[in-house]
Structures are given as structure tokens and as C-alpha cells.
């Protein structure tokens, strides 16, 4: 017999414990009714669509980046291998577009913290006018620290040559802040010399070669190889025949200039280029410009109007 008896509380029925946590309506038994199901389809579709669109966007951007990196890799390692000369447009960008110092890094090598100083040695008896013109152009494009020194091998130099790159800076400046250095040293050397990165580069000799180097730093050399060769040819003519040749040779060159200038305003193509700079400076230096040929005079005037040549007259006196 039980000691205590407790009356049952609650119903004495069997309680069914649930076996299913969530219950969904059976989608397979649903009949397709457009009005009802568009919403559902739309929800699913917009959700999916948005996801898909986002994915597509990401993939597209990835492709673009990949293409860009491939392009850069190609230009850095093999500059002209992929370029087909016939497909490249003939006229280059105009000389005044600013490109910034990124180009200098790719042209001259990474900046290691030392000022990238171009050192030019020239003899004061034959001032390199073409290089001075190029210096003006470099100053327009980059931040250039210019300085002039007189070497001990030369006893004295007239003040106009000492100030040919402008008066000496008197402000407080840090050499590091400049993108490029241009140091002109008046020295007793037979040929113009240029030294840039002594451990890896040998000395560049000859005013023509230094002029080509400086012109390429400006980044306006035409991509078209035909035009580039024409410019080179005129530069050679200027420095070898005009500057160093006899009177007869000079006369021939002046006539050739005249012929070429009768067809176009500048020597090569429709733009002012190194060819014009070189020929004009050599012509002014040798004094053969007094020949009186019409086209040559017109062209010289045009060069001077550009403003880079103004100071040459002062130097030539």
C-alpha cells in the first residue's frame, strides 16, 4: 500500500511531443499562380541578380587590373617589342602635357635619396648653347636645381658664363626636394662631357649626344622611328658639319635647311624638336646665319619667339 498518494494533476491524456521543429508549406504541391509567385520569384531573382551583378562587377574589375598590370610589365621589360609602328598614331602628344616625376623614375632609375645630378663639363671657349636651351625646357617641365661651377683648370671665366643658368640661389633649399640636378662646370676639356650615374654609366662625350640625352628626358621624343631618325640626322648635321665644318660645308647645310624649311614650318614634322634647337644654336654660334636666306631667317625668328633663345644673344656677345 502506498504511503502517500498524490492526485494526478493535468489531464491524464497522452501528450504528443513534436518531432518536427519547423514546418514549411510544401512547395511542390503549390500551383503556379503568376500574381502570387512573382513576388517570391522576384525576391529570389533580385537577390540572386544583385549577387550576380556584384560578382560580375568584381570579375570585370579584376580583368581590367590584370590587363593593366600586363601592359605595364610589357612596357617596362620590352619597351618596343610589342609596338607595331604602323598601328601607332603618327603625331605624339604635345610638348606641354605634364607627366610628373613617375617618368623620371622609369627613365633614370629609382631615387635612392641622392639628388639625381647631371654633371656637364664644358669649355668656356665654346659654350654649349644647345644644352642651355634644353636646360630651359627641363626647368619648365621638372623642378631642377641648377648650379654653375668654375673648375681649377680654368683661370677665369666671364661673369655672363657664370650666370648663364640664372643667378645663384640665395634661399634656403634642400637638395633632396628637387627632381633633377643640373650642374654645369666650366673646365678645360676638349669635348663636352656628361656624367650622371658614375657606377653604372660611362661618361657621355660630345654636345650632340648630351643633347639627345637631355631631349629624351623631356619625354617628347616622337614614337615614329622615321621621324626620330630624321631628328638624329639633323642633329648630326648641325654638330658635325655646321659647327665644325669649313665655310663651304656650312653654306651647303644652310641651303639644305632652306630647302627643308620651304616645305614645313619646322625641320621635322609639325612640331618644334631637337633638330630645330640643334641647328639654330649651331647656326647662331658660327655666325653663318647672316646668309639672308628667307626661310632660314623666318625659321630663326620663330625659334626666338618661343622664348628659349633670348638669352643666347647675350651669351654670344
Partner 1 sequence: MTKEDVKGAAAEEEQQTQSKKALKKQQKEAEKAAKKAEKQAKQTVEQQNADEDDFAKDRYGVSPMVQSQQKLDRVLVRVEELTPEKADQLIWVRARIHTSRAKGKQCFVVLRQQQFNVQALVAVGDRASKQMVKFAANITKESIVDVEAVVRTVEQKIESCSQQDVELHIERIFVISQAEPRLPLQLEDAVRPEGEGDEEARATVNQDTKLDNRVIDLRTTTSQAIFRLQSGVCQLFRDTLIKKGFVEIQTPKIISAASEGGANVFTVSYFKTSAYLAQSPQLYKQMCICADFDKVFCVGPVFRAEDSNTHRHLTEFVGLDIEMAFSYHYHEVIDSITDTMVQIFKGLRDHFQTEIQTVNKQYPSEPFKFLEPTLRLEYTEGVAMLRAAGVEMGDEEDLSTPNEKLLGRLVKEKYDTDFYVLDKYPLAVRPFYTMPDPSNPKYSNSYDMFMRGEEILSGAQRVHDAQLLTERALHHSIDLEKIKAYIDSFRYGAPPHAGGGIGLERVTMLYLGLHNVRQTSMFPRDPKRLTP
Contacts of the segment 109-116: beta carbons below 8 A, 24+ positions apart: 109/197, 113/176, 115/145, 115/175, 115/176, 115/178, 115/180, 115/181, 116/179, 116/180, 116/181, 116/196
CB of 118 to partner 1, least distance (A): 10
- Write the CB contacts of 146 (distance below 8 Å, at least 6 apart in sequence): 135, 139, 165, 166, 181, 182, 183, 184
Grid coordinates given for 1: 500500500
CB of 55 to partner 1, least distance (A): 47
The reply on whether position 121 binds partner 1 by CB under 8 A is yes
Stretch near partner 1 under the rule CB under 8 A, chosen from 10-18, 89-97, 112-120, 296-304: 112-120
The reply on whether position 60 binds partner 1 by CB under 8 A is no
By CB under 8 A, what part of segment 198-257 binds partner 1?
198-199
Closer residue to partner 1 in complex, CB, 210/296 = 210
What does the CA dihedral 206, 209, 213, 216 come to, rounded to 10 degrees? 150
Q: Which of 116, 121, 168 is nearest to 143 (CA)?
A: 116
Closer residue to partner 1 in complex, CB, 63/173 = 173
CA distance 117 to 101: 15
Closer residue to partner 1 in complex, CB, 115/228 = 115
37, 61, 151, 301: which one contacts partner 1 (CB under 8 A)? Answer: 151
Stretch near partner 1 under the rule CB under 8 A, chosen from 44-52, 109-117, 125-133, 292-300: 109-117
Q: Which of 199, 214, 295, 298 is nearest to 256 (CA)?
A: 295
The helix/strand/coil state of 134 is helix
Grid coordinates given for 254: 644652310
Q: Which helix (H) or strand (E) holds 76?
A: helix 34-77
The reply on whether position 117 binds partner 1 by CB under 8 A is yes
Stretch near partner 1 under the rule CB under 8 A, chosen from 136-144, 146-154, 266-274, 299-307: 146-154
The binding track of 293-312 with respect to partner 1, each residue x by CB under 8 A or -, is --------------------
The binding track of 153-192 with respect to partner 1, each residue x by CB under 8 A or -, is x-x------------x---x-xxx------x-x-x-----
The reply on whether position 37 binds partner 1 by CB under 8 A is no
The reply on whether position 5 binds partner 1 by CB under 8 A is no
CA distance 137 to 129: 13
Give the binding site for partner 1 (CB under 8 A).
Answer: 112-115, 117, 119, 121, 147, 149-153, 155, 168, 172, 174-176, 183, 185, 187, 195, 197-199
Amino acid at each position: 500500500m502506498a504511503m502517500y498518494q498524490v492526485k494526478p494533476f493535468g489531464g491524464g491524456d497522452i501528450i504528443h511531443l513534436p518531432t518536427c521543429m519547423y514546418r514549411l508549406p510544401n512547395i511542390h504541391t503549390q500551383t503556379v499562380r503568376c500574381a502570387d509567385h512573382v513576388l517570391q520569384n522576384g525576391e529570389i531573382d533580385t537577390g540572386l541578380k544583385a549577387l550576380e551583378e556584384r560578382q560580375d562587377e568584381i570579375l570585370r574589375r579584376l580583368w581590367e587590373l590584370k590587363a593593366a598590370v600586363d601592359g605595364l610589365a610589357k612596357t617596362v621589360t620590352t619597351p618596343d617589342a610589342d609596338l607595331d609602328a604602323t598601328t601607332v598614331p603618327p603625331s605624339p602628344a604635345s610638348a606641354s602635357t605634364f607627366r610628373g616625376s613617375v617618368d623620371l623614375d622609369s627613365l633614370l632609375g629609382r631615387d635612392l635619396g641622392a639628388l639625381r645630378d647631371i654633371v656637364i663639363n664644358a669649355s668656356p671657349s665654346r659654350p654649349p648653347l644647345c644644352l642651355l636651351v634644353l636646360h630651359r625646357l627641363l626647368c619648365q617641365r621638372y623642378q631642377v636645381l641648377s648650379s654653375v661651377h668654375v673648375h681649377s683648370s680654368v683661370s677665369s671665366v666671364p661673369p655672363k658664363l657664370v650666370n648663364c643658368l640664372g643667378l645663384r640661389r640665395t634661399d634656403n633649399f634642400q637638395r633632396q626636394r628637387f627632381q633633377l640636378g643640373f650642374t654645369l662646370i666650366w673646365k678645360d676639356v676638349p669635348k663636352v662631357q656628361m656624367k650622371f650615374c658614375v657606377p653604372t654609366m660611362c661618361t657621355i662625350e660630345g654636345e650632340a649626344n648630351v643633347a639627345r640625352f637631355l631631349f629624351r628626358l623631356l619625354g617628347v621624343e616622337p614614337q615614329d622611328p622615321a621621324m626620330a631618325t630624321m631628328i638624329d640626322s639633323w642633329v648630326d648635321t648641325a654638330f658635325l658639319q655646321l659647327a665644325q665644318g669649313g665655310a663651304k660645308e656650312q653654306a651647303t647645310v644652310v641651303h639644305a635647311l632652306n630647302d627643308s624649311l620651304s616645305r614645313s614650318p619646322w625641320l621635322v614634322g609639325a612640331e618644334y624638336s631637337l633638330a630645330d634647337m640643334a641647328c639654330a644654336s649651331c647656326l647662331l654660334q658660327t655666325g653663318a646665319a647672316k646668309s639672308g636666306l628667307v626661310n632660314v631667317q623666318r625659321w630663326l625668328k620663330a625659334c626666338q619667339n618661343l622664348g628659349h633663345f633670348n638669352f643666347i644673344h647675350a651669351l654670344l656677345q
